[in-house]
Structure 1
Amino acid sequence: MWAVVRAVKRAFRYRFYPTDTQAAELARTFGCIRKVYNLALAARTEAWVSRQERVTYTATSAMLTRWKKTEDLAYLNEVSSVPLQQTLRHLQTAFTNFFAKRSRYPTFKSKKKSRRSAEYTHSAFRWRDGSLTLAKMTEPLAIVWSRPLPEGASPSTVTVSQDPAGRWFVSLLCVDVIPDAPATTAVGVGVDAGLDSLLTLSTGEKITNPRYERADRARLARAQRDLARKEKGSANRAKARLKVARVYARIADRRRDHLHRLTTRLVRDSQTIVIEDLSVRNMIRNHTLARAISDAGWRQFRAMLEYKANWYGRHLITVDRWYPSSKLCSTCGALAETMPLDVRSWTCRCGVVHDRDVNAARNLLAAGLAVTACGAGVSPQRETSRTGRPAVKQETSGVTQGIPFL
């Protein structure tokens, strides 16, 4: 039998340590990218407001050529032209998403708040024998190869970035071949996201919520107090800001690593994975739970699960957010009238004692398998689900009359 393989575009991210010359060159590139982006955005906005005219990427590219010939913007010629062209393409994508009502109107880049990154296409870097040299540079980047690239892979796009903590990263976009590995569980698994337990599986397993932000909260508070005491614009304030950024980076890195491990395990073990379509943006409006919900990283978990399921050929089913997974008895199908958040276990009239989260995960799995079998209407409808209901636990409040919990 022939093994099924999938070729996917995959980004491999590594940390690198630039020389002083390379750091200065990249800093100039970041500044020029920000300047070109803001100029193009201002030109497009002015054209629309004054003349109702839509400016295209081709027009902004011609503007960039004219800007380089002016005395005030002659410094744009000192950096590679490819990242400047790429930022115009990114602006075009932002406007395309805006007109398609997928995002808000593009905003100007800020020197202090915006992400510092530059994208290089194949013509602006040299890849030779595992060594990467960017345009306008004479020495290759000192990359820490924490994991190897796929055998024979050659990057098509290189993105260099610097995070708020001052760390430098390079992302190499390559074509990777992923073999088709059969799942150990063919039936599937239902996954209920929570706060006490980060994930509860339909098998009854509960995965503890590590609460990385809470673990580093005291360290973060001290760093923020030190930052508040420093005079604005001083060198000491810049050092204190880096300390705060490093604490945030530590929290985000540990959370991301944990979610990567969980999602990889779920995708490798199960052929079908069923989750609930949670509106995290609405749920964090509950100020009592907002910090804990943000620390759990539910949205990041779902995004990882989506692309990994696509890579490995798994079925990821998302059940509608209004499906009463917690209030429905997974044994007899009876529906409880109410289910406050503080109720963690309840007894159905059929005599079965349910753990709230395990019962919800089992109901999600059953609903997801129903979608696979007969197309039952539990798949999410994002456009019709925005009804402004309470943002705590989004379940139907007035459906079929059930029985109260005991």
Structure 2
Amino acid sequence: MGIGEHVGRNLVTKSKWTSVANVQYRTRRAGQPFPTAGQLSTRLITEAKRTAERSWLGEVSAVVLQQSLRDAETAYRTFFASLKGTRKGPKLGAPRFKSRKDARQSIRFTANARWNITGSGRLNLPKIGAVKVKWSRALPTAPTSVTVIKDAAGRFFASFVIDTDPAADATRMPETHCTIGIDLGLTHFAVLSTGEKIDSPRFLRRAERKLKKAQRERPASRRDRRTGPRPA
């Protein structure tokens, strides 16, 4: 099974959890306790796998599904804390259902999932296999978890959590006795106290140029023509 299928089936589990939690929230005033991720793991994963309707859950890593439940549990507990006033900041709304139409989707593998990075630099994920990775840089230490993110363009990114030692990091940095001030702005990304100006990265402009080029290269027969005769 590919990463895309994992992401999609993970959304089903998270939405199902949200549905159950909504029912629990409505009956909470009657004294019904709020379900924990552990309790719902048995109900929504273990028991669901034994049914014909949800048997496909067995094709997805159990750790991914459990992490989804924990994320939803955290979201609801934060929501309830906001209602009680024990959480600082503005009031939060209830967690919403996840949809396949959401621009950003993700799955997370912890150490319990037994994933690893192969000697050839591939990311070996359970129930998915070895995935080729285009590394932006080497990891300074061994990662403890990895989150695979799918963006609106259908691209996948891997985000790693690592533990670092501040003392060891300091030894890797070159020693210097110079100081500099940085002012973040709108016209420029940053202006240094030395007078140097760093331009803002214009991701949207670059994406717009790329889209415009792709639209020009698209065959005329496949374009959306609102008026005139349809192409043969």
Question: Any conservation in 2 of the 1:125–1:133 contact (CA below 8 Å)?
Answer: no
After superposition, the C-alpha distances for 1:261-320 in whole angstroms (9 at most, x for unaligned) are: xxxxxxxxxxxxxxxxxxxxxxxxxxxxxxxxxxxxxxxxxxxxxxxxxxxxxxxxxxxx
TM-score (norm 1): 0.43
* Residue among 163, 178, 190 paired with 1:175: 163
- Cα 1:222–1:142 change in 2 (3 A) is closer
C-alpha distance in 1 between matches for 2:103 and 2:70: 17
Deviation at 1:159, TM superposition (A): 2.0
C-alpha distance in 1 between matches for 2:66 and 2:102: 22
Which residue number corresponds to residue 112 of structure 2? 123
Question: Any conservation in 1 of the 2:183–2:190 contact (CA below 8 Å)?
Answer: yes
Which residue number corresponds to residue 327 of structure 1? none
Which residue number corresponds to residue 37 of structure 1? 14
Computing the radius of gyration over CA atoms, which structure comes out larger, 1 or 2?
1
Deviation at 1:89, TM superposition (A): 0.8
- Cα 1:134–1:159 change in 2 (3 A) is same
Query: Which of structures 1 and 2 has the larger relative contact order (alpha carbons within 8 angstroms, sep 6+)?
Result: 1
C-alpha distance in 2 between matches for 1:62 and 1:80: 15
Which residue number corresponds to residue 58 of structure 1? 38
Which residue number corresponds to residue 224 of structure 2? 229
* Residue among 17, 23, 28 paired with 2:5: 28
Gaps of 5+ in 2: 83-88, 227-232
Deviation at 1:35, TM superposition (A): 0.8
Q: Equivalent residues in 2 for 1:98-177 (5 A)?
A: 98-101=79-82, 103-127=92-116, 128-129=118-119, 130-137=121-128, 139-150=129-140, 153-177=141-165
Secondary structure at the aligned position of 2:198 is classed as strand
After superposition, the C-alpha distances for 1:14-51 in whole angstroms (9 at most, x for unaligned) are: xxxxxxxxxx4323221221111011111011111134
Count of residues in correspondence between the two structures: 203
Question: Any conservation in 1 of the 2:145–2:160 contact (CA below 8 Å)?
Answer: yes
Secondary structure at the aligned position of 1:140 is classed as strand
Question: Any conservation in 1 of the 2:103–2:152 contact (CA below 8 Å)?
Answer: no
Tell me whether 116-125 or 203-212 shows the greater mean CA deviation: 203-212
Q: Equivalent residues in 2 for 1:5-404 (5 A)?
A: 24-52=1-29, 53=32, 54-64=34-44, 65-101=46-82, 103-127=92-116, 128-129=118-119, 130-137=121-128, 139-150=129-140, 153-177=141-165, 178-179=169-170, 181=173, 182=175, 184-186=177-179, 189=181, 191-195=183-187, 197-209=188-200, 211-214=202-205, 217=208, 220=211, 229=224
Secondary structure at the aligned position of 2:178 is classed as coil
Question: Any conservation in 2 of the 1:116–1:161 contact (CA below 8 Å)?
Answer: yes
Cα RMSD, aligned residues only: 3.2
After superposition, the C-alpha distances for 1:346-404 in whole angstroms (9 at most, x for unaligned) are: xxxxxxxxxxxxxxxxxxxxxxxxxxxxxxxxxxxxxxxxxxxxxxxxxxxxxxxxxxx
- Cα 1:39–1:230 change in 2 (3 A) is farther
C-alpha distance in 2 between matches for 1:122 and 1:169: 18
TM-score (norm 2): 0.71
After superposition, the C-alpha distances for 1:107-138 in whole angstroms (9 at most, x for unaligned) are: 1111122523211122323425455422124x
* Paired AA for residue 62 in structure 1: T
* Paired AA for residue 61 in structure 1: S
Secondary structure at the aligned position of 1:158 is classed as strand
Secondary structure at the aligned position of 2:47 is classed as helix
Tell me whether 56-65 or 75-84 shows the greater mean CA deviation: 56-65
Question: Any conservation in 1 of the 2:148–2:159 contact (CA below 8 Å)?
Answer: yes
Deviation at 1:221, TM superposition (A): 6.2
C-alpha distance in 1 between matches for 2:199 and 2:65: 45
Question: Any conservation in 2 of the 1:117–1:162 contact (CA below 8 Å)?
Answer: yes
Secondary structure at the aligned position of 2:99 is classed as coil
Deviation at 1:79, TM superposition (A): 1.5
Question: Any conservation in 2 of the 1:194–1:200 contact (CA below 8 Å)?
Answer: no
- Cα 1:116–1:192 change in 2 (3 A) is closer
